[in-house]
Structure 1
């Protein structure tokens, strides 16, 4: 017996998303005439018969969401995924966790509704998407996390204030008497987590009357422990005087602390170290790591609010939401005299 033609078969044949096919089947006036004609032709050629009893084909709410992250090896994303699933369950929804590995085509497939499993909304922390990939109406509702892309019409964005949190870190270190600071994890991207945090560091240091020389900005190809250790070792070999390291995330910070320890440099006596994300390991390192902790519950809640907003709630479908953060001061950044 031949397999029944599915809505995804029609979508693939017409070169559109399953949501677009659903809009055509349900006679919604949101599809351009040329696209509608192409979908109708695909329906005729494949002999597709809509199952009106199916919620998916009615375009009704299914409660299915997806969370797309670049990786799960970073404990921050693993914790985010767990919190998202728990919070969604409390709202009667399910969340599938997808890993993009930073591949643009994989991310495009999710936000344009070309993934294997249809969902009501996609919550994504993109690594390679561009604004051109976010055409409203071309797929499921999209909610952006992180700093790569801001909100656009029809697409919401949720993130912490990286500039303000960086300023909090700098203020703390300067108050401890640190002056020879290093930013570990900087890059030249026009918009990124690193760029935003570096901007905050620069502004706060300038306010404190301290110049951040180019040699005190150290890029890292990856934001993991190995890169943090390797880049810190290179800085130490260069002979650059450093009394504080502001790492772009906790993994870089932990790698930097390992390099400093291997060279017999006391943390925080000789060099203070800070990070971002408050991964579980940060509280258990020796010394424990000072870090910026995003309000993860608020972030998850805001993302789900945007993903599940009613169709008529236009303001909730394309707004910027900034969630809170807290600087958790721990042993890695105590005052020099306390080291």
Structure 2
């Protein structure tokens, strides 16, 4: 059924039907009632896409993620979709697959259909893509630190601070030669921020870092974590802890240590980030930095909808930077059962 069918049944113009559908107070009550009756009789569904193209609110948010193979992003998508639905919004989940051009398109609002806001977790963007950016619609970046711009917000945990928490935990456990797995250099990225916090904490603890203990990981997944740690062991590199930039790398590291006969945590402690559900079931269970996902999702949606957090919220706000809480979830990979009881 089309809007013209409804107009014919109600004996009005299609513009009158449009006014009723869009709740414009320009139609006499009795006429509006007749139009709504025709809509019900015919089962007409308004074409909101057409209305959106004319500039109305879509009540839709584009959520752009690099992948869903990483459980963290799948969980995040589910949480955001549920929370947005409770606010009366629909979420359109888009995958960038690490394609810089796709991410850049969403930066400037080139989406498949009009949306009220974009929440983007970038993987391939360069700093030059973000400098001086002024988004046409509200843009919320997750994870990656960006220069403040008009209509651009950044929501994340304190990556450097959480790395300090990890190193402090390891040093308190007697570790003195930690390896960082997942290094990213020379850019404002999650990996670079975590590495910066790691280095600062090691300096404070009096640990002299051997450059060979800083290991890159081109892909943050289990297979890469396993391969990089296996290469380090086969190369004779000595270390007594692994700080993995995410849990998938950490789980891969656990596999490599197990295959090479290294006892965890007695010989090598391992800590990751994201607190994935599978981390609790790894052998041994993986210690991890756990972001407050409820606060992160709420802050991202608030920013997307133009509602800035208040001082009473569980977040820190500076300009367009919103920092959500985290905690270190200590498990068997970084502390033995006996140590935990002591």
Q: Kindly tell me: are residues 183 and 137 of structure 1, through their superposed partners in 2, closer, same or farther at Cα, counting changes over 3 Å?
A: closer
2:135·2:151 contact (CA, 8 Å) conserved in 1? no
Aligned counterpart, 2:71: 75
TM-score (norm 1): 0.79
Deviations 1:154-197 (A, max 9, x none): 20110110111000000000000011110011122321111100
Shift of 1:111: 2.4
Aligned to 1:88: 84
Structure 2 partner of 1:112: 108
CA contact (8 A) 2:287 2:334 kept: yes
Report the Cα distance in structure 2 between the residues aligned to 1:70 and 1:230, rounded to whole angstroms: 22
Larger RCO of the pair (alpha carbons < 8 Å, separation 6+): 1
Matching of residue 140 in structure 1 with residue 137 in structure 2: yes
Cα separation, partners in 2 of 1:128 and 1:96, compared to 1, 3 Å: same
Task: Describe the shift of the 1:283–1:114 C-alpha distance in structure 2 as closer, same or farther (beyond 3 A).
Answer: same
Give distance in 2, aligned partners of 1:178 and 1:335. Answer: 13
Q: What is the Cα deviation at residue 60 of structure 1?
A: 2.8
Alpha-carbon separation, structure 1, partners of 2:48 and 2:234: 68
Whether the aligned pair in 2 keeps the contact of 1:52 and 1:58 (CA below 8 Å) is no
> For residue 43 of structure 1, what is the aligned residue in structure 2?
none
- Cα distance between partner residues in 2 of 1:61 and 1:317: 28
SS across alignment from 1:78: helix
User: What displacement does 1:141 show?
Assistant: 1.8
Query: Size of the alignment, in residue pairs?
Result: 285
1-side partners of 2:198 and 2:76: how far apart?
26
Match of 2:193 in 1: 196
In the other structure, the counterpart of 2:328 is 327
CA separation of 1:302 and 1:52: change in aligned 2, threshold 3 A: closer
Structure 1: stretches of 5+ with no match in the other structure? 1-50
Query: Which stretches of structure 1, 4 residues or longer, exceed 3 Å deviation after superposition?
Result: 51-55, 130-139, 335-339
Higher-Rg structure is 2
TM-score, normalized by length of structure 2? 0.78
Matches within 5 A, 1:26-175: 55-130=51-126, 133=129, 139-175=136-172
For 2:228 and 2:48, the matched residues in 1 are separated by: 59
Q: Distance in 2 between matches of 1:190 and 1:306?
A: 25
Q: Tell me how far apart the structure 2 counterparts of residues 335 and 74 of structure 1 sit (CA, whole Å).
A: 28
Q: How far did residue 223 of structure 1 move?
A: 0.4
- Structure 2 CA distance for partners of 1:173 and 1:131, relative to 1, 3 Å: closer
Offset from partner CA, 1:295-331 (integer Å, 9 cap, x none) = 11111111100101179xxxx9961100000100000
Residue 257 of structure 2 is aligned to residue 229 of structure 1 = no
